[in-house]
Amino acid sequence: MCSLSKDLPLVIAHRGAAGEAPENTLAAFQLALEQGCDAFELDVHLSKDGQIVVIHDYSVDRTTTGQGAVSELTVEEMKQYDAGAWFHPSYAGERIPTLEEVIAMTPEHIHINVEIKGGIGQGIEEKLVELLRRLNRTASIFVSSFHWNCLRTLNQIEPSLRVGLLYDLSLKDYALLPKAAGVNAYSLHPHFGKLEAEAVKAAVAQGVAVFPWTINGEADMARMIDMGVSGIITDYPGKLRQLLEQQSA
């Protein structure tokens, strides 16, 4: 089981190392591991045949050679599309992975932040819990979503699963947010541009982790570290790891 007892902030690779490899592919997660990340952030939807697939958009158009809505395609159909060539020819041959495939290549000490995008209210919550129980990986996953109703559902079906409120709001009183949302939240995932040091302090003091997104510049990374955030979600996990190593040298 992975815990937050290690040095903070966690280096959380956004969609894998999405700045340097095609987002949400096994290649991007592999690169993030090589760059010393502590966790992956990834986005999930339900395929037409009810599997949890790792892709950001509601359609495959932007990041693959295929076309169509993720919810209208089976995994077998999606696997025919190239999910790497759009980024760089050297990544040709990458495929949209299922969540199970990503978990299979992830060492147990690495956290996975599963961000639920699609399939909400269509069974994705139950299927996620089933998958994590079957793979015995409930403890190394934390789930976030902009759709807070899905977090409430997860609280009900698996109270031990960590969930986090994802939002793009400027709220000063972060510590009150989980209660207001009716979610038993392990973490808050605010947009970094709207984050204030006092708010971070208040949340962390109440035992709620703060994982802002998506921070790619060194000056912003340094500012987040100074604020005392619990983890930093970045497209450049290697750059963040280097900065943290320089600071502790």
The residues annotated as belonging to the active site are: 14, 56
Closest separation in Å from C-beta 52 to ligand G3P: 15
Scanning 85-193, the segments in alpha helix (DSSP H) are 99-104, 124-134, 148-157, 177-181
Binding-site member from 94, 115, 125, 158 for Mg ion (CB under 5 A): 115
62: left (phi over 0), alpha (psi -120 to 50) or beta: alpha
> Which residue's CB comes closest to Mg ion?
115
Task: For residue 23, state whether it binds Mg ion (rule: CB under 5 A).
Answer: no
Residues 102 and 90 sit within 8 Å (Cβ to Cβ): no
Which residue number, 54 or 224, has a Cβ lying nearer to Mg ion? 54
- Dump strand ranges (E) for 96-230: 111-116, 141-145, 162-167, 187-190, 209-210
Binding partner of residue 233 among Mg ion, ligand G3P, none, CB under 5 to 8 Å per kind?
Answer: ligand G3P
Closest separation in Å from C-beta 58 to ligand G3P: 11
Q: What does each C-alpha distance from 242 to 8, 186, 226, 238, 247 come to in angstroms?
A: 14, 27, 16, 6, 9
Which residue number, 13 or 27, has a Cβ lying nearer to ligand G3P? 13
Residues forming contacts to ligand G3P in the complex (CB under 6 A) are 14, 41, 43, 56, 115, 144, 166, 189, 213-214, 233
- 42 forms beta bridges with 114
Six-digit token string for 202:
């208040």
**Count of residues engaged in binding Mg ion, rule: CB under 5 A:** 2
Six-digit token string for 11:
């280096």
Closest separation in Å from C-beta 41 to Mg ion: 6
Task: For residue 235, state whether it binds Mg ion (rule: CB under 5 A).
Answer: no
Binding partner of residue 95 among ligand G3P, Mg ion, none, CB under 5 to 8 Å per kind?
Answer: none
Which residue number, 92 or 181, has a Cβ lying nearer to ligand G3P? 181
Which residues, including other chains, have CB under 8 Å from residue 1's CB and lie 6 or more apart? 139, 140
- Dump strand ranges (E) for 19-154: 39-46, 52-54, 111-116, 141-145
Which residue number, 69 or 92, has a Cβ lying nearer to ligand G3P? 69
Closest separation in Å from C-beta 11 to ligand G3P: 14
Residues 139/144/149/152 CA torsion (nearest 10 deg): 30
Binding-site member from 43, 94, 158, 235 for Mg ion (CB under 5 A): 43
Closest separation in Å from C-beta 96 to ligand G3P: 16
Write out the residues near Mg ion by the rule CB under 5 A.
Answer: 43, 115
